[in-house]
């Protein structure tokens, strides 16, 4: 089996973990049609009842953005929503293949670029809502293209960069010609579970992040801020027939949802952020009582402000994630210009929607303790010397990270 076929097989068997008789929905950029078809073949080989591929034409989206009003551009058509709802109501598992064009939207105004993001994310919100209700599997992965490869490897021969990008993806997903992909990811899941349980056993009340670049941020955690799935819930899910899956490939993160009103201090980015095709880079955000109250970016400041002001809750955090600096993605020395990979090279935060169920409306007398929003935008801030000190609910101080890595 060649490596690209093995990667497709991994996304089917480990990422989505397609079950016999299940519907499968693949969302891919047009340039990834060949690889998307390969995934479809592997899904049918795994017993899928039906595979639907929905193509995203980013170049056409730019044409729309240049010719439609911002209000019209932000909308999505009902027939697009109907197609997603049809598959989701059939309990389809889903795969999103990211295939970026980092410079495509560079000449758009920030409000039009934000409208591009709003259209795409609006449709995905429909999917998320139904998937949450159905409990179906989902996975996000990458399918490199030539323009993207040239951005990631700017100093290399253009004739070889695409193959180099694909080979890098295989390496970051722990694939090689000899490995048993199911066994590899099973062992990784066990390791991740051990670390998640250690974090949860600390019963942390907050995390204090500091780095020499100026980051000095305290993030409050609640009783529902689990880094892993609690054993009782996991056992209940397994008894209920929950199908295990791997949501992001590659992944190195240990994430949770912080309390909405308990983040204070300043955080400095360490990697660029690409949103709606526009770059936001070299920025900082200051938080008070959970809310982003001040920000600055050397590039894309207006875009950053529009993200923070998307809705009433988009300026609060929905995620805090611990990622070791000496992880394979970070040590590659590459910037990938997609959050999917870059967030797994660095500790990160997310503005907007959290993972805790919106049914949790009160905790310790506080209303709406965890954030809900239209958006969920990750940004990276981990540095080589990042220190993380946790405060436990029984008053102890615990060193969680030192010099960018776990010390648990």
Flag whether 142 is in a domain.
yes
User: Both 140 and 46 in a single domain?
Assistant: yes
Q: What is the CATH number of the domain that holds 45?
A: 3.40.1830.10
Report the alpha-carbon distance of residue 299 to residue 320 in Å, rounded.
24
Average pLDDT over residues 109-127: 79
Whether 248 and 345 have beta carbons less than 8 Å apart is answered as: no
User: Both 270 and 382 in a single domain?
Assistant: yes
DSSP β-bridge partners for residue 321: 255, 348
Residue 119's pLDDT is: 79
Alpha helices in 78-180 (DSSP H): 78-89, 110-134, 146-152, 161-172
Using the predicted structure, report yes or no on whether residue 115 has a pLDDT greater than 90: no
What is the domain range of residue 116?
3-169
Structure tokens at 371: 């954030």
Residue 366's pLDDT is: 87
Mean pLDDT lowest for which of 97-101, 198-202, 228-232, 392-396?
228-232
User: Both 270 and 368 in a single domain?
Assistant: yes
Confidence of residue 109 (pLDDT cuts 50, 70, 90): confident
User: Both 106 and 238 in a single domain?
Assistant: no
More confident call, 262 vs 109: 262
Domain count, the chain: 2
Using the predicted structure, report yes or no on whether residue 235 has a pLDDT greater than 70: no
Flag whether 175 is in a domain.
no
Flag whether 109 is in a domain.
yes
Residue 239's pLDDT is: 61
> Which of 142, 169, 196 delimits the end of a domain?
169
Using the predicted structure, report yes or no on whether residue 231 has a pLDDT greater than 90: no
Give all strands of the β-sheet with 254-256 in edge-to-edge order. 254-256, 317-322, 348-352, 376-380
User: Both 242 and 96 in a single domain?
Assistant: no
**Centroid of chain to Cα 108:** 24
By the 10 Å C-beta count (0-12 exposed, 13-18 middle, 19+ buried), 1 is classed as exposed
User: Both 311 and 374 in a single domain?
Assistant: yes
More confident call, 85 vs 154: 154
CA distances from 144 to 29, 56, 152, 280, 316 (A): 10, 15, 10, 21, 32
Using the predicted structure, report yes or no on whether residue 233 has a pLDDT greater than 70: no
Flag whether 174 is in a domain.
no
Containing 94, the helix (H) or strand (E) segment is: strand 93-98
Residue 130's pLDDT is: 66
User: Both 58 and 107 in a single domain?
Assistant: yes
Report the alpha-carbon distance of residue 310 to residue 51 in Å, rounded.
34
Flag whether 257 is in a domain.
yes
Flag whether 325 is in a domain.
yes
Structure tokens at 305: 């402000």
Flag whether 400 is in a domain.
yes
DSSP β-bridge partners for residue 378: 350
Report the alpha-carbon distance of residue 272 to residue 282 in Å, rounded.
7
- DSSP one-letter string for 390-408: EEETTS-EEEEEETTEE--
User: Both 248 and 145 in a single domain?
Assistant: no
Using the predicted structure, report yes or no on whether residue 111 has a pLDDT greater than 90: no
Report the alpha-carbon distance of residue 74 to residue 69 in Å, rounded.
9
Flag whether 140 is in a domain.
yes
Whether 370 and 352 have beta carbons less than 8 Å apart is answered as: no
> Which of 169, 199, 222 delimits the end of a domain?
169
Per-residue DSSP letter, 18: P
Using the predicted structure, report yes or no on whether residue 106 has a pLDDT greater than 90: no
> Which of 107, 139, 169 delimits the end of a domain?
169
**Centroid of chain to Cα 78:** 26
Mean pLDDT lowest for which of 171-180, 188-197, 234-243, 302-311?
234-243
Confidence of residue 357 (pLDDT cuts 50, 70, 90): confident
User: Both 144 and 193 in a single domain?
Assistant: no
User: Both 327 and 382 in a single domain?
Assistant: yes
Mean pLDDT lowest for which of 28-37, 98-107, 111-120?
111-120
Percent of the chain with pLDDT over 70: 95
CA distances from 324 to 90, 157, 219, 350, 403 (A): 38, 31, 18, 17, 9
Average pLDDT over residues 248-262: 95
Q: How many residues does the chain have?
A: 408
User: Both 39 and 94 in a single domain?
Assistant: yes
User: Both 154 and 195 in a single domain?
Assistant: no
Using the predicted structure, report yes or no on whether residue 236 has a pLDDT greater than 70: no
């Amino acid at each position: 089996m060649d490596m690209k076929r093995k990667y497709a097989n991994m996304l089917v068997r480990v990422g989505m973990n397609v079950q016999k008789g299940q519907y499968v929905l693949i969302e891919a950029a047009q340039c990834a049609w060949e690889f998307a078809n390969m995934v479809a073949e592997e899904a049918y080989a795994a017993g899928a009842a039906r595979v639907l591929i929905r193509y995203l034409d980013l170049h056409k989206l730019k044409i729309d953005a240049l010719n439609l009003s911002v209000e019209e551009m932000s909308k999505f058509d009902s027939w697009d929503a109907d197609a997603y709802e049809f598959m989701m109501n059939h309990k389809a598992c889903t795969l999103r293949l990211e295939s970026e064009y980092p410079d495509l939207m560079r000449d758009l105004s920030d409000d039009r670029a934000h409208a591009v993001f709003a259209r795409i994310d609006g449709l995905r919100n429909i999917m998320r809502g139904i998937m949450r209700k159905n409990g179906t599997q989902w996975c996000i992965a990458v399918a490199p293209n030539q323009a993207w490869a040239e951005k990631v490897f700017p100093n290399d021969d253009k004739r070889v960069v695409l193959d180099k990008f694909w080979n890098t993806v295989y390496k970051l997903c722990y694939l090689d010609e000899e490995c048993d992909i199911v066994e590899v990811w099973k062992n990784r899941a066990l390791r991740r579970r051990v670390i998640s349980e250690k974090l949860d056993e600390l019963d942390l009340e907050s995390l204090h992040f500091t780095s020499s670049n100026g980051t000095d941020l305290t993030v409050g955690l609640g009783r529902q801020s689990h880094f892993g799935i609690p054993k009782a819930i996991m056992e209940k899910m397994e008894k209920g027939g929950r199908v295990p899956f791997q949501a992001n490939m590659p992944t190195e993160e240990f994430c949770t949802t912080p309390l909405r009103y308990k983040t204070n201090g300043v955080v400095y980015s360490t990697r660029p952020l690409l949103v709606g095709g526009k770059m936001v880079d070299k920025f900082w955000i200051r938080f008070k009582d959970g809310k982003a109250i001040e920000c600055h970016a050397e590039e894309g400041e207006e875009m950053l402000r529009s993200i923070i002001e998307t809705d009433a809750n988009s300026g609060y955090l929905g995620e805090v994630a611990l990622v070791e600096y000496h992880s394979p993605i970070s040590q590659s020395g590459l910037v990938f210009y997609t959050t999917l990979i870059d967030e797994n090279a660095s500790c990160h935060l997310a503005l907007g929607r959290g993972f805790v169920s919106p049914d949790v409306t009160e905790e310790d007398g506080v209303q709406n303790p965890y954030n809900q929003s239209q958006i969920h935008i990750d940004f990276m801030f981990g540095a080589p010397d990042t220190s993380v000190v946790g405060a436990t609910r029984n008053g102890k101080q615990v060193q969680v990270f030192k010099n960018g890595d776990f010390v648990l």
